[in-house]
Structure 1
């Protein structure tokens, strides 16, 4: 068992922590590039300011883990349980999250450029102020549950929300230019003050969604009305 172990500032790059017990261990500032954390148990583990480029996290328990200010570029998270994980101000560029539970996780002010979320539960996750306005964001959300999440003041340009559940999401003042919301449930979402230049919402439900003060409101409402008419027409044919 490595519970409560201390790896502060150490070089453990390439290390294999498969099935390791690392509850409340501390990796703050450690070099974990190319490290493997398969089936490891890391509840409440401290990875702050970690250098974890190209690391592998698979079938691991990482509830309450703290990865704030960590560098995780090109890492993969597959079938990981990350309830209330803290990834605020972290570098998650090009990171792949697949079939992972991230309920109430914190991505506040993080860099998610070219990251992808496939089959991820991000219910009530916090993306407030995520991504720098000067970078190409290009984030992909596919078949993910993102209900009641916060994207206020975040930048998600040239991104995709495909077949996602976005019920009650807060997009207030978000920059969402050239972002697609396709085949998604966006009921009761709040886009007040958001910019949506060049964005599209194909075959998505926008019932009770709010666009007060947002740009491209007319185009989005036209797409919504088109979606309604298509659904009414198809149902009348049944």
Structure 2
């Protein structure tokens, strides 16, 4: 007797959605890929699932519900997260190199120690507001990051000890760097982060914490830095042209 798609999908439905005991079970990479295939172009629900350490590289998780999912140490190289919801997800030490972030929601996600290199943030050359991802309250501490975050909502995000400094010796093809141009970073924490050559053009940084950060040749052109704290920060060659500096603390240059 031929096996129908419904017969194949049933065990997956049972695994993904039935019973508290199975809800806590780790899903292997093959099970995750099968669940995505069984969604038949729909939005797979992997909320709260444990996929830690899995190799999910190149998987298309566009539109997936990944709220509260555990993707710690997962290989997410090249994964498409377009329109995916990762609210409260755990991505500690995950590899997100070449991942797609278009309109993804990382609100309160934990990305501590993750690798975010050469991430796809738009379908064109420049970020646009309608394609921007969200990282409100997200933890990106100790990350290794080279991303064009421009226009993202990143209020209250934690970038402490993150490494974003550009290594100029590796820039033979032009300057590839992290950019926060036009971002909302009010209340963000960049304490002790490496931010050499990082761009913050016209970003909102009210009350941001840059204590002890390396801001060598960082660019704050037109940025809103009211009440930001630069105590102990290294600001050699940093550009604060037309920046709003009302109430800033610890900045070693004289406000204009």
Query: Structure 2 matches for 1:176-195, cutoff 5 A?
Result: 176-195=215-234
The Cα RMSD (Å) is 2.4
Structure whose CA Rg is larger:
2
**99, 105, 125: which one pairs with 2:138?**
105
Judge which range, 144-153 or 24-33, deviates more. 24-33
Q: Deviations over 1:64-121 (max 9, x none)?
A: 0000010111112111222110000111122245512211100111101x21102211
Query: Are 1:167 and 2:201 matched, yes or no?
Result: no
Counterpart selection for 1:126 from 151, 158, 168: 158
Q: Which residue of 2 aligns with 1:138?
A: 177
Structure 1 window deviating more from structure 2 (129-138 vs 60-69): it is 129-138
Give, in whole Å, the separation in 2 of the partners of 1:96 and 1:149. 23
Q: For structure 1, which runs of at least 5 residues remain unmatched after alignment?
A: 226-238
- Residue 201 in 1 paired to residue 225 in 2? no
Structure 2 residue aligned with 1:95? 119
Shift of 1:204: 1.2
Equivalent position to 1:7, from 7, 13, 27: 27
Structure having the larger proportion of residues in strand = 1
Task: Count residues with an aligned counterpart.
Answer: 216
Q: Offset at 1:13?
A: 7.4
Q: Runs ≥4 in structure 1, deviation > 4 angstroms?
A: 9-18, 132-137
Query: Where does the alignment leave 5 or more consecutive residues of structure 2 unmatched?
Result: 1-12, 18-22, 122-130, 169-175
- Give TM-score, length-normalised by structure 1: 0.83
- Using structure 2 for the length normalisation, give the TM-score: 0.77
Give the SS at the match of 1:92.
strand
Q: In 1, Cα distance between the equivalents of 2:226 and 2:57?
A: 41
